[in-house]
Amino acid sequence: MKKKIARILGVLLLLPVAGALGQAKRSVKDLSPYYQKWLQEDVVYIITPKEKEVFLQLENDRQREMFIEAFWKQRDPNPTTPENEFKVEHERRIAYANQTFGKSSPGPGWRSDQGRIYIILGEPNSKDRFENQSEVYPVEIWFYSGRVEDGLPNGFYVVFFKKDGIGEYELYTPIKYGPQYLMPNYSGDMTDYAAAYGKLVKIEPTIAYISLSLIEGESLTQVAPSIASEALIHQRVPNAPRHRVKDTYADKLLSYKDIIDVEYSANYIDSGAVVRVLQSASGLYHVHYLIEPSRLTFEQFDRRFLTNLEVNGSLTDASGRPVYQFERKTPVELNRDQITAIRPKPFSFQDMLPLIAGRYKLSLLWKNTVSKEFTSLEADVVVPGRGELRMTPILLANRADTDSKYAGQNKPFLMGRTQLVPSTRNDFARNETLSAFVQIQGLTDELRAAGRLEFVLLRGETAVRTTTRRLSELPDPRNVLEQIPLADLTPADYDLEVTLYDGAGTKRLSDRTIFYLSFMPDLVRPWTLALTLPPDNDPANLHALGLQYRNVKDFEQARRYLEAAFRRNPAEPEYALDFARFLFDAEDYLQVKPIALSFVRDRQRYEFLEILGQSSQALGELAEAIEVYKEYLERLGTNLNVLNSIGDCYRRLGNAAEALVAYEKSLEINADQPAIRAAVKELKERK
């Protein structure tokens, strides 16, 4: 049973307004065989009435698949792992029921009484069988305990018997049957429970004791069937798998079924952050960032401690135009020893992403989806153009591993062989060495040969220590690491100033930062979760850069990078679709069609249908475009652009009636379309 280390109440916010009107409720027979089976067999015993009602109002397969995904997520006991343990167990129970029960009936095992109870409750704590007895029909007794959280008694029995001694086992209840129905030779009054009970006690006491009450420890005031047992079997047991399900999500899904992303956030927590734009050895620039939230909440499952982190980020230019958007989802699982070790420590989440030249605003929303806690980060970032001389702001680190085992990888704050461990608070202990890192970008040959860096440690405005480094003597003048021992300094606030001078002694670049030298002999340092990126020439990076170039309208570079990503990994749908969209915008429709057709026909990736239809339409292949658009609607559901495109195609073909059908359906969904209204008016007047 899971326990929360910290319990944080969350609320949904930022929900977009639903734009589509719901349709009338359908019947099960209106569904395809696949969804009929899902509703009437796969989840028939665990779906709530509300969920079923909503499912029957969904309009297409895309919405139904969204619902099914949400349905299982609501029941996932551990959303931070890739496997849904509830779904796996439910499917195992169905398979077991089909294999084990119902062998004496024409129907499958899941429909039998025993199969139904097994699917609902799972394996009983114990089973007792009474067979081959002349004075008692075959009886099987299942005992369950520890199901209070499912709305059930702490201990109870489920009894099955073979009525008349033949056929399959039927579910027994005290009021419907009673002890008299369990004995083949009973000839007394069938309404006299006390007499029947007295006789059964002499034959088989174990069966007799539960023939009147299925609830362990229930006290009966008279020898009569338990009403509570009847409610147990007919109400509480069937409702057990639904007891803890909050099916209000179903109404939300119905309201927002046409919205792709429903963002939510919860309680805000403070955080520290560091952001730097650093250039890799290949010349590619990356934004390196870390966030240190004030707390990190885990949930405990048995001996595992789990949480799930999600980052939604965006980069915009000076006009607010989106340049790049990204998302990270990172599950974290720790054992008891690990959670004990990190519990007193802060937490540092670190990541990086490639970025083209320009000035941008970085906005990040960091969320813990387990606890519904969130924090945010905003920063101005600058990626210099080719040849532009620039020194990065000073990065202070409490540790620098100069021979990192991750050398050669793209890892946050890893430069060459040196892994930096930045401090968001810039606080240090006297027994530590302060590592100061700057990167000088756009160095000229003259500066490499004659330039020098000066590191000045100041207390107030008084220089405490000055160190000079000639660039020509440094192993790598672009990446400069200065390590400063602190043992001989007095605890206080200090400044560190780094200045680049040319050969003539002229100040070319300078930066200054503050740090605090603590009185504490030891400072608690964060434990780090650092994400890594593939190498600079990996298709993932090429694709990201291509999207950025496209968004800033550098189409030559956009095509270069998007095509390179697609050619290196042509099986990746995201790369193919973005390259196809670029080709479409460039009016290269003939190149779009084979890419889109390959994914639709060979891989059943129906999201390519829209651009396939658009390319056919642009080439004048109107009848083909209409068929593609119709398949899109059938596969993925309502789309205003697709409906309007169908209307446009029919209109060009001279089929006013079909054009009106498409346009008017579009207007039913969104009446605020002046151009479509004008087209409808024109067609009706012409007609």
**pLDDT tens per residue, range 122-164:** 999 999 999 988 899 999 999 999 999 999 999 999 999 999 8
Judge if 585 and 518 occupy the same domain: no
Judge if 522 and 583 occupy the same domain: no
Which of 24-33, 599-608, 628-637 shows the lowest mean pLDDT across its residues? Answer: 24-33
Q: Of the residues 225, 252, 267, which one is the last residue of a structural domain? A: 225
Q: CA-CA distance, 405 to 417, in Å (whole number)?
A: 8
Judge if 580 and 517 occupy the same domain: no
Q: CA-CA distance, 226 to 249, in Å (whole number)?
A: 37
* Residue 644 near residue 633, CB atoms below 8 Å: no
Q: Considering the domain boundaries, does residue 39 fall inside one?
A: no
* Residue 210 near residue 157, CB atoms below 8 Å: yes
pLDDT of 393: 96
Q: What's the domain count of the chain?
A: 3
Number of neighbours of residue 257 by Cβ within 10 angstroms:
22
Judge if 517 and 399 occupy the same domain: yes
Model confidence at 365, in pLDDT bands (50, 70, 90)?
confident
Q: Of the residues 225, 247, 275, which one is the last residue of a structural domain? A: 225
How many angstroms separate the Cα of 110 from the Cα of each of 103, 260, 563? 11, 36, 52
How many angstroms separate the Cα of 132 from the Cα of each of 18, 166, 574? 63, 12, 65
The CATH number linked to 431 is 2.60.40.10
State which of 78-82, 518-522, 683-687 shows the largest mean pLDDT. Answer: 518-522
Q: CA-CA distance, 513 to 516, in Å (whole number)?
A: 11
Place of tokens 């532009």: 388
* Residue 39 near residue 222, CB atoms below 8 Å: no
Q: pTM to 2 decimals?
A: 0.61
Q: CA-CA distance, 173 to 233, in Å (whole number)?
A: 7
Q: Considering the domain boundaries, does residue 469 fall inside one?
A: yes
The CATH number linked to 636 is 1.25.40.10
Measuring CA to CA, which residue among 309, 305, 294, 293 is closest to residue 367? 309
If you ran DSSP here, which 8-state letter would residue 182 be given?
G
Write the DSSP assignment of 115-161 as a string of letters.
HHHHHHH-S-SEEEEE-S-TTS--EEEEEEES-GGGT--SEEEEEEE
Angle between helices 555-568 and 539-551 (to 10 degrees): 160
Q: Considering the domain boundaries, does residue 674 fall inside one?
A: yes
* Token representation of residue 477: 């003048």
* Residue 489 near residue 517, CB atoms below 8 Å: yes
Q: CA-CA distance, 247 to 245, in Å (whole number)?
A: 6
Judge if 148 and 207 occupy the same domain: yes
Judge if 621 and 530 occupy the same domain: no
pLDDT of 521: 84
pLDDT of 12: 27
Place of tokens 């294999």: 99
* Token representation of residue 271: 């955080």
Using DSSP's 3-state secondary structure scheme, residue 315 falls into strand
Q: CA-CA distance, 199 to 197, in Å (whole number)?
A: 5
Stronger pLDDT, 466 or 164, i.e. the higher one: 466
Stronger pLDDT, 197 or 21, i.e. the higher one: 197
Q: In what order do the strands lie in the sheet with 507-517?
A: 427-428, 507-517, 493-501, 452-459, 462-470
* Residue 381 near residue 315, CB atoms below 8 Å: yes
102 φ/ψ sector (left φ>0, alpha ψ -120 to 50, else beta) = left
Mean pLDDT computed over 631-659: 94
Model confidence at 257, in pLDDT bands (50, 70, 90)?
low
Judge if 407 and 462 occupy the same domain: yes
Q: Considering the domain boundaries, does residue 422 fall inside one?
A: yes
Go through 124-140 and write b for each residue having 16 or more CB atoms within 10 A of its CB, e for each that does not. Answer: beeeeebeeeeebbbbb
Q: CA-CA distance, 193 to 209, in Å (whole number)?
A: 12
Using DSSP's 3-state secondary structure scheme, residue 295 falls into coil
Q: Considering the domain boundaries, does residue 33 fall inside one?
A: no
If residue 628 lies in a helix (H) or strand (E), which one and from where to where? helix 622-636
pLDDT at 250 over 80: no
Give the structural domain span for 635: 570-686
pLDDT of 15: 30
pLDDT at 657 over 90: yes
* Token representation of residue 199: 């006789």
Q: Considering the domain boundaries, does residue 41 fall inside one?
A: no
The residues, ordered by sequence, that sit 6+ positions from 249 with a Cβ below 8 Å of its Cβ are: 70, 74
Overall residue count recorded for the chain in this entry:
687
Using DSSP's 3-state secondary structure scheme, residue 583 falls into helix
Q: Considering the domain boundaries, does residue 319 fall inside one?
A: no
Judge if 419 and 480 occupy the same domain: yes
If residue 275 lies in a helix (H) or strand (E), which one and from where to where? strand 271-279
The residues, ordered by sequence, that sit 6+ positions from 340 with a Cβ below 8 Å of its Cβ are: none
pLDDT of 268: 62
pLDDT of 82: 82
Judge if 581 and 678 occupy the same domain: yes
If you ran DSSP here, which 8-state letter would residue 167 be given?
S
What's the burial of 672, exposed, middle or buried (CB within 10 Å: 0-12/13-18/19+)?
exposed
Q: CA-CA distance, 157 to 264, in Å (whole number)?
A: 43
Strand partners for 49: none
Measuring CA to CA, which residue among 225, 221, 229 is closest to residue 190? 225
What's the burial of 115, exposed, middle or buried (CB within 10 Å: 0-12/13-18/19+)?
buried
Strand partners for 329: 310
Judge if 425 and 521 occupy the same domain: yes
Tens-place pLDDT, residues 216-243: 999 888 889 999 999 999 999 999 999 9
Model confidence at 373, in pLDDT bands (50, 70, 90)?
confident
Q: CA-CA distance, 592 to 615, in Å (whole number)?
A: 7
Measuring CA to CA, which residue among 215, 241, 235 is closest to residue 155? 215
Q: Which stretches of 256-346 are DSSP H helices?
A: 336-342
pLDDT of 14: 31
Using DSSP's 3-state secondary structure scheme, residue 297 falls into coil
Mean pLDDT, the chain, whole residue set: 90
Q: CA-CA distance, 628 to 350, in Å (whole number)?
A: 44
If residue 397 lies in a helix (H) or strand (E), which one and from where to where? strand 395-401
Judge if 421 and 528 occupy the same domain: yes
Tens-place pLDDT, residues 37-62: 999 999 999 999 999 999 999 988 88
Amino acid at 522: D
Q: Considering the domain boundaries, does residue 158 fall inside one?
A: yes
Stronger pLDDT, 16 or 318, i.e. the higher one: 318
* Token representation of residue 209: 């004791």
If you ran DSSP here, which 8-state letter would residue 321 be given?
-
| pLDDT > 90: percent of the chain | 75
Angle between helices 640-653 and 674-686 (to 10 degrees): 30
Model confidence at 263, in pLDDT bands (50, 70, 90)?
very low
Q: CA-CA distance, 277 to 85, in Å (whole number)?
A: 41
Amino acid at 559: R
Q: Of the residues 536, 559, 578, which one is the last residue of a structural domain? A: 536
Q: CA-CA distance, 192 to 654, in Å (whole number)?
A: 82
Cα-Cα end-to-end distance for the chain: 69
Q: CA-CA distance, 434 to 321, in Å (whole number)?
A: 39
Judge if 501 and 598 occupy the same domain: no
The residues, ordered by sequence, that sit 6+ positions from 40 with a Cβ below 8 Å of its Cβ are: 28
